[in-house]
Structure formats: structure tokens, C-alpha cells
Amino acid sequence: MFSLFIENFRISITSVLANKMRSLLTALGVVIGILAVTLMGTLISGLDHSFEKSMEFLGKDVLYIRKYEWFGDKEWWEMRNRPNIKIKHANSILERSQYAKYVAPVSEWYTSVKRDANEISGVRVTGTTGAYAMISTAEIEKGRFFSSSENRSGSRVAIIGKDIADNLFENENAIGERIRIGNYTFRVIGEIEKQGKFLGMFSLDKQVIIPIGTHQRLFTRRGWTGINVRVDENNIDNATEEITALMRQFRHVRPTEDDNFALNRQDPFKQQYSMIKLAIGGTGFFITVLSLVVGGIGIANIMFVTVKERTREIGTRKALGATPKMILMQFLMESITICLFGGLLGLGLAWGGSFIINQYFPSEMPIDLALTALGLSMFVGIISGLAPSYKAAKLDPIDALRYE
């Protein structure tokens, strides 16, 4: 049986190579199908990777009290009229909430950062307190975070992100050096580890962190303020409810009125993301199924032609002792070979494509998906080869031998 398998494989290869152009065109549907499914898989794996990193940055147990909702159907102009978030409420939450573990007020403003002639513009300047270090997942790589006395006294000290360190200091040690944030001179006291991009949109490393008091005085007039709360991770829902109630109380929201602030979490990101993922996956799946079906029909068609062309050969083989099953296997194998060839070509192209995707965000071609894709192309080969092969197997040897 094994020599028959080898023989069938030999016949298939010979036949595919003898009609190179025809095989290629026939396999094109499968090529596109496999390309689509693999590239989609690569894309999703890359998205997953980058999304998880971004979600890590937000933290699953952190509530972001903001003026604006991150998601939802509220109109922006309605939210614009809400009162600003006040820094003093950070302390009140810490005092009154039983679920809040760390609370840090945050102010943000964007400006340029300079050192001598080097300048980076559009740097995120975050003003906060020492609690920020306990809420953020990013670690201090060198130096330290500012102390509470530095915070209270409004010292001009800064912790810089990796982009700032790399661009302004290159190989030098930044700790203790001076930089200009906007028009003010600050002393660098710490450096944060590399965090990468948030959802591939903006760099988390292009930031400096300074005491909130300093921030208030120098920048906050123009920026916005919010409060980050790290809560007990086993009671996130309870904490959300409790802190919403506290905020309503602090801001004197009447029971009949809606919240005039937002409690943002990473969860809606996840929901949004799974919808995007579903959309990509759905599109990829649709393209794959469509091209595999069309490709399969093409292969069935060309296999019928092949069987017709080789009717005499089939007759001869039958006369020489091939059973119907052996003939069936021969043509099935040929159909599978065309599909596998298409599948491998598609995988090759996808492999190349995954390098291009990798340029934009880190991803890799999932091996299990590649194997599934190959299995899928074999399956297409079997399905579309079945009818033509059966026809070949059932040919009457006498008619086949007489066929001109």
C-alpha cells in the first residue's frame, strides 16, 4: 500500500509540474483563502499582544475619575458643561472609601521639553502625588519617585519617560541633570522603564511626571485634572458603586440628576476591542470561506478536465490491475496536492506579510493557525476532488481504453 501511496504522490507532483500555469491558477483561490486566514490570525495575535500591554498600563483594578466618559453615547457638549474634577476629592475618597487602596490626583498638560539645543515637543506632563507610583504598573528604572515633602513644597523635580531619556540624554546618566519643561527648569530624579505605545496610538514613554502642586501652579490652568483610584481587585464593582456615590455626594448631585462625572475603567476598552476583533475575524473568515469555496469549485472543475484528458491512462491503469479505489486515491491525491501547493504558497506569502505587519506592531504568525490552514487546504482538496475522482474510479475500463 505504501508504494502505491508513493506512486500516487509521484503522479500528482508530475502532473502539477507538467501544468505549472494551470496548477497555479487553479490553486489561486486556495492561496488567497489561506493568505486571508493566516494574515488575519497574525493581525489578531499582534492586536492581542499590543492590547494586553495597553490594558496592563491601565490596570484592571484602577478607576479613572474624569470629566469625560471614555466610551458611551453621551454627547461631548453635555459633558463639557460638567464641573471640573477637583484635586481635594482625592483625599476625601481615600478617607471615606473602604475599597480604595491608593488615590492619586492627576493633572495633564502637553508642552515641550528641552535640554540645551535638543527639544521634544508634545510631551505629556503629568502632575500627581506619590500614590501614583503605587497605582501605575510602570516601574521606576533609575532614580526614585518624588517624596511627599517634595510634593507638598512644590519642588521642581521630574521623573522622565524612556523617550525623553533616550532623546535628551542618549548614553548619559540623566539623574540629577536639569531639563526645561515648558519655560521652567526641573531637576531629573527618576527614569521610568519603557512602556511602549498605547493601543498603537501614542507613546507612553513620551512623558514627564512632576509633583501636582508644581503642576497646578505652572500648567494646570490650561490642562485637565482627574483622579486615579486603585481599588481592591476583588471588589471592583462594589468599589465603582461606592465611589460613584461618594463623588455624587461631594459634588452635591441630586438623586434625580445624572452623574456629572465619569468613572472610567478598562472594561469598556475590552468590550470595544472584542468588537473590533470580531469584525476583523469575521471579515477574514468571510474572505477565507468565500475564496476557499470558489477555489474549491475551480479545483473540482480542473480535476474533471484532468480526468477527461487522462481517460485512456485510467483505462490502461485499470487494465493493468488498478482497482477503482486505487484510481480514486490517485486523483484525490492529485487534488490534495494542488490544494496543499496553494496552501503552502499562501502560507509563504502570509509569512512575508507577517513581517510587514510586524513593522507596525509586534506580532507573529501563529503556528497552530498555519497548521490549521494547511489542514484546511487539504480538506478543500478532498472535498473538491471527491466527485472527479469518483468519476474516474467508476469509469468502465473498456470505454476508457477506447476513448480518443
**Residues in contact with other proteins by the rule CB under 8 A:** 1, 3-4, 7, 14, 18, 312-313, 315-326, 397-398, 401
Residue 335: CB minimum distance to other proteins, A: 18
Q: Which three cell numbers stand for residue 248?
A: 455624587
For residue 255, give the 3-state DSSP assignment.
coil
* CA–CA dist 159, 206 (Å, integer): 11
Residue 390: CB minimum distance to other proteins, A: 13
Nearer of residues 215 and 318 to other proteins, judged by Cβ: 318
Helix axes 324-360, 2-18, angle to 10 degrees: 60
Nearer of residues 287 and 326 to other proteins, judged by Cβ: 326
Nearer of residues 19 and 372 to other proteins, judged by Cβ: 19
* CA–CA dist 282, 179 (Å, integer): 49
Residue 315: CB minimum distance to other proteins, A: 8
Residue 320: CB minimum distance to other proteins, A: 5
Residue 174: name the closest of 133, 144, 203 by CA: 144
Handedness of CA 89, 92, 97, 99 (dihedral sign): positive
Nearer of residues 255 and 321 to other proteins, judged by Cβ: 321
Residue 364: CB minimum distance to other proteins, A: 41
The residue assigned the cell 461606592 is 242
Count of other CB atoms within 10 angstroms of residue 152: 12
CA geometry: angle 124, 129, 133, nearest 5 deg: 80
Nearer of residues 2 and 77 to other proteins, judged by Cβ: 2
Residue 400: CB minimum distance to other proteins, A: 10
Nearer of residues 179 and 307 to other proteins, judged by Cβ: 307
Cβ neighbors of 1 (< 8 A, separation 6 or more) are none
